[in-house]
Amino acid sequence: MAAQIGTVLGIGLVFLGFGALLLRRSLIWKLLGLNVASGGAIVFLVALSHRPGAVPPLSGYPEGTPSADPLPQALVLTAIVIHFATLALSLAYAISLTERFHTQETGRIEAASEEEMER
Amino acid sequence: MTAALLGVLGYFGFGIICFLIPRARFLSALALVCGTISFAVWAPGFPRGHLGLGDWAIPWEGDALAAAFWGLSLFLHAVLLLEEVGKPRHFYALLTLLFGTVLSLVLSRDLFNLYVSLELTSLIAFLLVGLEGRAAQVWASLKYLILTSCGMILYLLGVGFIYARAGSLSLPALSAMPPDTAIRLGVGLLLAGAAAKGGVFLYAQWLPTAHGYAPSSVSAVLSGLVVKMGIVAMARIAGAYGAGDVLVALGLITGFLGIYHAFWEKRIKVFLAYSTMSQLGYMLLGFGGGDWGGALTYAVAHGLFKPLLFLAAGRAEDEAGTHLIQRLAGKLMLSTRLGLGLGTVAIAGLPPLAGYAAKGLLFLNLPPWGKWALFALSVGTAASFSKLLPTIVRGRKGWKPTWGQFTLGLVVVGGGVALCIGKASLLAPSSLISGLGAIAAGYVVFHLLRKLPFRPPHWRLDESLLALFLAGCALLFWVLLH
C-alpha cells in the first residue's frame, strides 16, 4: 500500500512541478516548479523499491528477513546531488539576470537579453 | 579493459588539477596525451567488462561507436587547445572535464550511468555557455538548463519503470526482457528524455540560442560532439529495445524542421545551430535504419566541419562586428572566408570532401524512401547554406589563419579523399551526379524561395516547454502502442 501511495505521490508531484513550470511567469516560480518535479521523480524512485517488512542490509541483520534494495537508494542519492548542483547554478543565473534587468518575468528577461545581443 | 578506464580517470584527474594550477592549457594537453595512449591500447581489442562488484556491477563495452567518438573527441580537444590560447584556467578545466565525461559516456552500457554522464555533460555545458557572462548567454544557458532538466526528469522516471520491471539497469538485460506495458512506458520516457538532451527538434528548442550565443569555441564542441551524446543514448536504448522506427520518425522531424528554420534564419551562429538540429536527423535516420556504420561516419564528419564553421563564424563576427549574415559580406578576411567556404561546401556535400563521403556511405544502405528523404535533406542543406555565398565571395584580403581551423580544414579534405579512395562506389558517376545535383538544386531552390514572406515561429521558453511536453506525450503514446 505504501508503495502505491508513494508512486502516485511521486508522479503527482512531477505533474504539479511541470504545471508550475508552464503556467507561472516568474523565473523563481519556474525554478521552484522544476525542483518540485525533480523531487517527485526521487519520491517515485524510492517508492518503487519499497518492500514490505524489509530491513537495511547492514552487517548482522537477522537471517531470512527480506533486505531493502540498496541500488535505488544509491541512485536517489546521486540524483539528489545532481539536482542540487543544477538548482544552485540556475539560482545563480537567476540572480545575475534579475540584478541586470530588475524583473523576474521570463518574457521580459528574454526580450531584454535578445535586445542586448542585437547591439 | 583497464586502459580505457585509466584514460577516463586521467581526464578527470587533470581536469580537476587544471582548476588549481595556472598552467591549465599544458595540463589539459597532458590529459589529451593520456587519453590518446589509452585509446591506442584499448581500441584494437574492443574490450568489454564490468566495473564494480557482483550483481551491481556496471557493464561497459568499447565498440565501434565508442571508438568513433573517442577519436572525434580527442581530435576536437587537440583542435581547441591549438585554437584557444590564454583563456582563464577554468575554461581549460571545464573543457577537459567535458571531454572526459564524453569519453566515459560512450563506453557505458548502464541506464543510470548514462544518466549521470548526460547530466554531467549538461552541467559543464551550462557553465561554458554562460562563461562570458553576457545577458543573452546567461539566458540561453538558463533556458538550456530548464529544458534539459525537464528531459532528465522524464529519463529518471523511465529508469524507475525499467528497474521496477526488469530488476536491472543494464542495457543487455533490457534487450532480453519481453516488452510489456511497464517496459514500454519506461522506454518511451527514456527516449523522450534523451531526445531533449540530444537536440531533436520540438524536444530541444534550447539548442538555437545555447549554441548560437555561446563563445565560438564552446559552440564548436557543443555542436560537434556534446549534443550527439543524447543521440548516442537514444541509439543505445532503441537498439536494446528494438525501436528503430521511432528514431527514423524523430530523424525526419528534426531534419526537415531544422532545415525550415535554418533557411530563414538571419543570425549566422543561430543559423549554424538550426543546421545542427537538421544534421542530427541524418544520424537518427542511420541509427534507426540499423546502419550504424553510416550514422557514425556522418556523426564524425559533422563533428569536423561544423566546428570549422563555428570557429570561422566566430572570427567573422569579431571581424565584422555584427552577427547578421547580410551585413558580413565584404568585411571578412581571406583566411576567415576560406574557413567558412570550406565548411559550407563540405556540409553541402561537394565531392570529395568529408560531407560528401559520409552522406554517400549513409545513402548506400537506406531503403528507397530513405534515399529520397536524404536527397531532399541534402537539397535543403545546400539551399540554406547558399545565403553564405556572398559573404564568402566578397571580402578583404587579410590573411590571419588559426591553427585550429587549419587542422580541421585539412582533415575535412583529407578524410573525405581517403574515404572516397577506400570506397570505390563513392566515385561512381551516378553518386557524383546525385551529390552535385543536390547542390545545384539547392542553389536554385534558394533563389526561388528566398523572397517568400515566410517567417518561422520564435521559440521562447514557454513555447519550448510546451513543445517538449506535447512531443514527449506523443512519443510515449507511440511507444506504448508499439
- Rounded to whole angstroms, the Cα distance separating B64 from B72 reads 12
- Tens digits of residue pLDDT in B185-205: 999 999 999 999 999 999 999
* B299-304: average pLDDT: 96
- State whether B234 and B284 are in the same domain: no
- Res. B54: pLDDT tops 80: no
How sure is the predictor about B55, in pLDDT bands with cuts at 50, 70 and 90?
low
Nearest CA distance, B128 vs chain A (angstrom): 12
- State whether B208 and B305 are in the same domain: no
- Tens digits of residue pLDDT in A29-67: 999 999 999 999 999 998 887 777 777 777 666 777 777
On whether residue B182 sits in a domain, the answer given is yes
Q: Is A4 touching B (CB cutoff 8 A)?
A: no
- State whether B306 and B417 are in the same domain: yes
Cβ atoms of B480 and B184 closer than 8 Å: yes
CATH number of residue A87's parent domain: 1.10.287.3510
- Mutation target among A30, A110, A116, A119 for the B interface, most CBs of B within 10 A: A110
Provide, as residue numbers in chain B, all residues whose Cβ is less than 8 Å from the Cβ of A45.
Answer: 156, 159-160
Instruction: Please state the separation of Cα B426 from the chain's center in Å.
Output: 24
* B159-173: average pLDDT: 88
On whether residue B162 sits in a domain, the answer given is yes
How sure is the predictor about B482, in pLDDT bands with cuts at 50, 70 and 90?
confident
* Residue B49, domain extent: 1-109
Query: B186 burial class (0-12, 13-18, 19+ CB within 10 angstroms)?
Result: buried
CB neighbours (10 Å) of residue B63? 14
Residue in chain A closest to B150 (alpha carbons) equals A34
- Rounded to whole angstroms, the Cα distance separating A43 from B167 reads 18
- Tens digits of residue pLDDT in B424-477: 888 888 889 989 999 999 999 999 998 888 888 889 999 999 999 999 999 999
On whether residue B442 sits in a domain, the answer given is yes
Provide, as residue numbers in chain B, all residues whose Cβ is less than 8 Å from the Cβ of A72.
Answer: 163
- Tens digits of residue pLDDT in B180-190: 888 999 999 99
Cell numbers at A93, concatenated: 543565473
- State whether B71 and B161 are in the same domain: no
Q: Determine whether the interchain pair B136/A114 forms a contact, defined as Cβ–Cβ distance below 8 Å.
A: yes
- State whether B65 and B151 are in the same domain: no
- State whether B313 and B401 are in the same domain: yes
- State whether B148 and B170 are in the same domain: yes
- Res. B7: pLDDT tops 80: yes
**Which B residues 354-373 touch A at CB under 8 Å?**
none
The residue type of B234 is M
- State whether B235 and B267 are in the same domain: no
* Residue A48, domain extent: 2-118
Count of domains for chain B:
3
Give the one of A38, A44, A101 whose C-beta lies nearest to B149's C-beta. A38
Instruction: Please state the separation of Cα A40 from the chain's center in Å.
Output: 6
Percent of chain B with pLDDT over 70: 99
* B406-434: average pLDDT: 90
Domain end marker among B54, B76, B109: B109
- Tens digits of residue pLDDT in A79-109: 999 999 999 999 999 999 999 999 999 999 9
How sure is the predictor about A3, in pLDDT bands with cuts at 50, 70 and 90?
confident
- Tens digits of residue pLDDT in B107-124: 999 999 999 999 999 999
* Confidence at residue A2, expressed as pLDDT on a 0 to 100 scale: 76
More confident residue, B381 or B365: B381
Instruction: Please state the separation of Cα A14 from the chain's center in Å.
Output: 8
How far apart, in Å, do the first and last CA atoms of chain B sit? 37
* Confidence at residue B247, expressed as pLDDT on a 0 to 100 scale: 95
Cell numbers at A24, concatenated: 507561472
- Rounded to whole angstroms, the Cα distance separating B4 from B275 reads 33
- Res. A70: pLDDT tops 70: yes
Provide, as residue numbers in chain B, all residues whose Cβ is less than 8 Å from the Cβ of A34.
Answer: 146, 149-150
Give the one of B135, B157, B213 whose C-beta lies nearest to A97's C-beta. B135
Q: Is B36 touching A (CB cutoff 8 A)?
A: no
- State whether B374 and B324 are in the same domain: yes
- State whether B474 and B433 are in the same domain: no
- Res. B293: pLDDT tops 80: yes
- Tens digits of residue pLDDT in B201-257: 999 999 999 999 999 999 999 999 999 999 999 999 999 988 889 999 999 999 999
Q: Is A100 touching B (CB cutoff 8 A)?
A: yes
On whether residue B253 sits in a domain, the answer given is yes
- Tens digits of residue pLDDT in B361-372: 998 888 888 899
- Rounded to whole angstroms, the Cα distance separating B288 from B305 reads 23
* Confidence at residue B474, expressed as pLDDT on a 0 to 100 scale: 96
On whether residue B114 sits in a domain, the answer given is no
Count of domains for chain A:
1
Give the one of B135, B159, B160 whose C-beta lies nearest to A113's C-beta. B135
Give the one of A38, A41, A97 whose C-beta lies nearest to B139's C-beta. A97
- Res. B340: pLDDT tops 70: yes
Provide, as residue numbers in chain A, all residues whose Cβ is less than 8 Å from the Cβ of B206.
Answer: none
Nearest CA distance, A94 vs chain B (angstrom): 8
- State whether B238 and B253 are in the same domain: no
- State whether B388 and B265 are in the same domain: yes
Distances in Å between the Cα of B143 and the Cα atoms of A21, A31, A46, B49, B149 are 12, 11, 29, 38, 10
